[in-house]
Chain A
Amino acid sequence: MEKKMLKPFPSIFRQITEAAKGLGLEENMASSSSSGLTFKLHPLFIVNISDHYTRIKSQSLPPPSTPHAASASNGATSDSSSPPQQPPPRVFGCVIGVQRGRTVEIFNSFELLYDPCTHSLDRAFLEKKQELYKKVFPNFYILGWYSTGSDAQESDMQIHRDLMDINESPLYVLLNPSINPAQKDLPVTIYESELHVIDGIPQLIFVQSSYTIETVEAERISIDHVAHLKPSDGGSAATQLAAHLTGIHSAIKMLNSRIRVLHHYLLAMQKGDIPCENSLLREVSSLLRRLPAIESEKFQDDFLMEYNDTLLISYLAMFTNCSSTMNELVDKFNTAYDRHSRRGGRSAFI
């Protein structure tokens, strides 16, 4: 049951990986803001929001004593139509980061309690958290707030206005927790508030902005790692193996093409088309001297030992599998044929 709950989690990871790999994936929104700010998001805070939402969602499920309700509420998308399902809870939190000139970089986030009666966020807690974060990260300011859902709502404007006294133009980050496997981009939208004149009344409305993903090396490694743990379509071992081999294949192919370029260059130099450049030749010769890269005896020993260990373990696993199947077969055979030998002892198969 929990596995299905955590579904938004790995898909977010995969999307972030894809976005971060491109390092600069531009989301072209329909309406762009006119403030000219460029937003850079770090994966950490997106994962925080996703994690917060997942936790709240799994905590708010009815207890397993009502299995029907529980299984009904296990619908993959947020709004399922079965009656005991409540609309998924919205989570709220604060977004912190750095603003340098026209670039806003969002690093981290923390959760906030939302009071549905007064439609406001818990101010005391927010201030306390802000103080704590200031001590550790003196550069970080509160840049805005986040929430989950599919669209911005009216009540959000209220919260937005509340936050305006901390930051004159806060950001509203919205995460759409419904899983859409066809969607390749991140389900994150950033809204800014702008003063527009509607029907002669100046009103604050939300306008979308575009953003890019920016990662620190540590973030990229961890997200890459988690994204590869669970394959996207839950494929079998064969697809995992194929994916792994494909990765190696492309890496070697890149190396191959670069060596080919060197090869052509040297050939041309030999024929005389290109004047000899000695420093380059020296570098190439030092490069070639690194081959063969792994040939020492010690490597062979270690490699063969590991290879043998792997083979042994898989053989052992196969053995165990076979013997357990055999055991089951014998049990079933006995159960099936026992009636023939009711009298005079058991003539079991084994």
Chain B
Amino acid sequence: MDIEQKQAEHIDYFVKQASNLKGSSLRNLVVEATSHPSLFAFSEIISVPNVLELEGTENAAFLDLLRMFAHGTWSEYKSVASRLPPLVPDQVLKLKQLTVLTLAETNKVLPYDVLIQELDVKNVRELEDFLINDCMYVGIVRGKLDQLRRCFEVQFAAGRDLRPGQLGSMIQTISDWLSTSDNLLVSIQEKIRWADNMSEMDKKHRKGVEERVEEVKKTLSFKKLQTVSRPTPSSEGMKRSFPNMV
């Protein structure tokens, strides 16, 4: 989708840069990457070997920062802010955007209160401004703002980087989806068969009734020839055939 396409060149650029630099010079790169307005995916950068080397060195904090941007939210950051380097406003903005994406992962309807709390904004107005300008116009989320019920209905949210365990749950979701649609297909086929059967039965019933009518008509005409007296309603066939005869 378009977000991924837009990001693709930035990702390539940063990955190339990261493979060329080493050590402390990666600090600047990390800061640049995390404040870039169109970049929301960091797992490629994290998997560059030069970046992974930072683990355990004095720049480990930056690696953690990168990981935080890949998987974490704003409130998580606040709880470990002491260990991580301070953020410039661009980075703060980006982390908040990513928080919205994470929230959209679990619920489709996000109440304003939760959003206000998670994003550290003061009122609904600021929240809506943030959502509209920084999330919808950028294109990472699409949805409807419902002011009366004070919630944000998400219709589409861009994907964040995957945690290691998420792949398994995604596979599970897909297999569930597949089994549901298979069941649906089977039940649709059954309905089609049912409709055909019903029409068959109806046709047979109609034919049967018409045959009986013909029979009774014939017997009646014989009876007329034989007797002139009034017709007796004793025969079962006559009674049942009256609705259709006249």
Report A's interface with B, CB cutoff 8 A.
Answer: 236-239, 241-242, 245-246, 248-249, 252-253, 255-256, 259-260, 262-263, 266-267, 269-270, 278-279, 281-286, 288-291, 295-296, 325, 328-329, 332-333, 335-337, 339-340
Q: Are A266's CB and B188's CB within 8 A?
A: no
Main secondary structure of the interface of B (DSSP, over half): helix
Q: Are A260's CB and B178's CB within 8 A?
A: yes
Question: In the assembly, what is the distance between CA of A242 and CA of B71, in Å?
Answer: 49
Report B's interface with A, CB cutoff 8 A.
Answer: 1, 4, 7-8, 11, 41, 43-44, 104-105, 108-109, 154-162, 166-168, 170-171, 173-175, 177-178, 181-182, 184-185, 188-189, 191-192, 195-196, 198-199, 202, 230, 233, 242-243, 245-246
Q: Are B246's CB and A263's CB within 8 A?
A: no
Q: Are A241's CB and B195's CB within 8 A?
A: yes
**Given A283-B4, A284-B159, does the pair A256, B174 have CB atoms closer than 8 Å?**
no
Q: Which residue of A lies closest to B231 (CB)?
A: A336
Q: Are B170's CB and A288's CB within 8 A?
A: yes
Q: Which residue of A lies closest to B43 (CB)?
A: A278
Q: Are B199's CB and A236's CB within 8 A?
A: yes
Q: Which residues of A contact B108 (CB under 8 A)?
A: 289, 295
Q: Which residues of A contact B191 (CB under 8 A)?
A: 245
Q: Which residues of A contact B160 (CB under 8 A)?
A: 282, 285
Question: In the assembly, what is the distance between CA of A238 and CA of B166, in Å?
Answer: 46
Q: Are A263's CB and B178's CB within 8 A?
A: yes
Q: Which residues of A contact B233 (CB under 8 A)?
A: 336-337
Question: In the assembly, what is the distance between CA of A255 and CA of B185, in Å?
Answer: 11
Q: Are B181's CB and A252's CB within 8 A?
A: yes
Q: Are B41's CB and A282's CB within 8 A?
A: yes
Question: In the assembly, what is the distance between CA of A46 and CA of B50, in Å?
Answer: 67
30 sampled A-B residue pairs with Cβ under 8 A: A239-B199, A241-B192, A242-B192, A252-B188, A253-B185, A256-B178, A256-B185, A259-B174, A259-B177, A259-B178, A266-B167, A266-B174, A278-B43, A279-B7, A281-B162, A281-B167, A284-B170, A285-B105, A285-B159, A285-B170, A286-B1, A286-B156, A286-B157, A289-B159, A290-B155, A291-B173, A332-B242, A332-B243, A332-B246, A340-B230
Main secondary structure of the interface of A (DSSP, over half): helix
Task: Identify which of A249, A289, A333 contacts B242 (C-beta below 8 A).
Answer: A333
Minimal beta-carbon separation of A324 from chain B (angstroms):
12
**Given A245-B188, A252-B184, A286-B159, does the pair A329, B174 have CB atoms closer than 8 Å?**
no
Question: In the assembly, what is the distance between CA of A286 and CA of B170, in Å?
Answer: 10
Q: Which residues of B contact A284 (CB under 8 A)?
A: 159, 170
Closest 5 CB pairs of A and B: A282-B159, A238-B199, A286-B159, A285-B159, A238-B195
Task: Identify which of B4, B177, B198 contacts A282 (C-beta below 8 A).
Answer: B4
Q: Are A248's CB and B168's CB within 8 A?
A: no
Residue among A238, A269, A289, A329 with the most chain B CB within 10 A?
A: A289
Q: Are B161's CB and A278's CB within 8 A?
A: yes
Q: Which residues of A contact B1 (CB under 8 A)?
A: 283, 286
**Given A270-B168, A281-B167, does the pair A248, B196 have CB atoms closer than 8 Å?**
no
Q: Which residues of A contact B44 (CB under 8 A)?
A: 278
Task: Identify which of A270, A286, A340 contacts B171 (C-beta below 8 A).
Answer: A270
**Given A252-B185, A282-B161, A285-B162, does the pair A262, B243 have CB atoms closer than 8 Å?**
no
Q: Which residues of A contact B166 (CB under 8 A)?
A: 285
Residue among B43, B157, B243 with the most chain A CB within 10 A?
A: B243
Q: Are B181's CB and A259's CB within 8 A?
A: yes
Minimal beta-carbon separation of A244 from chain B (angstroms):
9
Q: Which residues of B contact A283 (CB under 8 A)?
A: 1, 4, 159
Q: Which residues of B contact A248 (CB under 8 A)?
A: 188
Q: Are A339's CB and B230's CB within 8 A?
A: yes
Q: Are B174's CB and A263's CB within 8 A?
A: yes
Q: Are A238's CB and B198's CB within 8 A?
A: yes
Q: Are A286's CB and B196's CB within 8 A?
A: no
Q: Are A336's CB and B188's CB within 8 A?
A: no
Question: In the assembly, what is the distance between CA of A260 and CA of B179, in Å?
Answer: 10
**Given A238-B199, A266-B167, A329-B242, does the pair A286, B155 have CB atoms closer than 8 Å?**
no
Question: In the assembly, what is the distance between CA of A333 and CA of B243, in Å?
Answer: 8
Minimal beta-carbon separation of B42 from chain A (angstroms):
9
Q: Are B167's CB and A282's CB within 8 A?
A: no
**Given A281-B159, A285-B159, A337-B233, does the pair A270, B185 have CB atoms closer than 8 Å?**
no
Q: Which residue of B lies closest to A256 (CB)?
A: B181
Question: In the assembly, what is the distance between CA of A282 and CA of B161, in Å?
Answer: 6
**Given A282-B4, A288-B174, does the pair A242, B196 have CB atoms closer than 8 Å?**
yes
Question: In the assembly, what is the distance between CA of A239 and CA of B188, in Å?
Answer: 14
Q: Are A329's CB and B41's CB within 8 A?
A: no
Given A252-B181, A288-B174, 7 new contacts (CB under 8 A): A255-B181, A282-B4, A285-B159, A286-B156, A289-B108, A332-B242, A332-B243
Question: In the assembly, what is the distance between CA of A269 and CA of B175, in Å?
Answer: 15
